[in-house]
């Protein structure tokens, strides 16, 4: 009897333990996906030139110029105003005010000299015309006639800038402004202190400038071209203005606290 009980107990124990040995542990595997990093958002920059450009459309081709409003703001504003018709000017032929009329349209390069420059922008076409006003000089020491293609105002003395301008064909250091109190020697001429020509841009397309400078001209009549070289129009391409996003202010919601019951 003792052996039977013991055997039965062993079989009972094995029958209980067997399921425990065959039971498998289930594990859940988590799959992690790489987090996609978003590229930093860069502010949108409007397309267009950083500095205003002028396209001088002539009967012999176009001349592209970059203007310098950061260095000569008055000179550039005057040029753009006359080119677009935004600036009021007086017609020297009729002595009438012109409003909304581009001054340069239909004018000519009335003075051209090879290896030197081409001059235009005179509403009279003789070299003696002006827009009915003058404005002060903006002489900048860093701007010199050390490269070809300089765009500058013609004048008849200090602070007599108007509408006439010229474009150099080659470097012309003798035209540099004088900042010496005792005057400056520029080649064969002596420049008075504080005198010079206002440079307000830099032009490309020098092949067009060279061609205009070499047209047949009347050397006895201020080097005026025998066949007019016409300025059809001066197109201005201004840099786009930054559009500021409007900020919407929402009313502040005030939270009223209930009195605490003591």
pLDDT value at residue 187 = 81
pLDDT of residue 210: 98
- Report how far residue 98's alpha carbon sits from residue 116's, in angstroms, rounded to the nearest whole number: 33
| SS3 labels along 145-198 | CCCCCEEEECCCCCCCECCCEEEECCCCHHHCCCCCCCCEEECCEEECCCCCCC
pLDDT of residue 9: 40
Q: How far is CA 101 from CA 63, 114, 225, 237, in A?
A: 21, 32, 26, 18
Residue 35, pLDDT score:
56
pLDDT by residue for the chain (262 residues), tens digit each?
444 434 444 443 343 344 444 444 545 555 555 555 555 555 555 555 689 999 999 999 999 999 999 999 999 999 999 999 999 999 999 999 999 999 999 999 999 999 999 999 999 999 999 999 999 999 999 999 999 999 999 999 999 999 999 999 999 999 999 999 889 998 888 899 999 999 999 999 999 999 999 999 999 999 999 999 999 999 999 988 764 454 444 444 444 444 444 4
Q: What structural domains and CATH numbers belong to the chain?
A: 53-237 (2.40.100.10)
């Amino acid at each position: 009897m003792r052996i039977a009980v013991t055997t039965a107990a062993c079989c009972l124990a094995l029958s209980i333990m067997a399921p425990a040995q065959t039971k498998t542990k289930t594990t859940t595997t988590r799959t992690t996906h790489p987090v996609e990093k978003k590229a930093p958002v860069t502010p949108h920059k409007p397309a267009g030139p950083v500095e205003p450009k002028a396209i001088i459309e002539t009967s012999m081709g176009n001349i592209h110029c970059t203007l310098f409003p950061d260095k000569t703001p008055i000179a550039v504003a005057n040029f753009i105003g006359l080119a677009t018709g935004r600036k009021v000017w007086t017609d020297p032929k009729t002595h009438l005010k012109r409003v909304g009329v581009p001054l340069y349209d239909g004018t000519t390069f009335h003075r051209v000299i090879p290896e030197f420059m081409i001059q235009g922008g005179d509403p009279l076409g003789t070299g003696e015309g002006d827009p009915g006003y003058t404005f002060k000089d903006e002489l900048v020491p860093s701007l010199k006639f050390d490269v070809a293609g300089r765009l500058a105002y013609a004048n008849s003395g200090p602070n007599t800038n108007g509408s006439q301008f010229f474009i150099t064909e080659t470097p012309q250091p003798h035209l540099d402004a004088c900042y010496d109190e005792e005057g400056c020697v520029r080649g064969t001429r002596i420049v008075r202190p504080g005198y010079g020509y206002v440079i307000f841009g830099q032009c490309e397309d020098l092949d067009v400038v060279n061609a205009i400078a070499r047209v047949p001209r009347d050397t006895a009549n201020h080097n005026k071209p025998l066949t007019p070289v016409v300025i059809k129009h001066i197109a201005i391409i201004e840099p786009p203005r930054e559009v500021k996003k409007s900020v919407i202010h929402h009313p502040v919601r005030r939270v009223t606290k209930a009195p605490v019951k003591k």
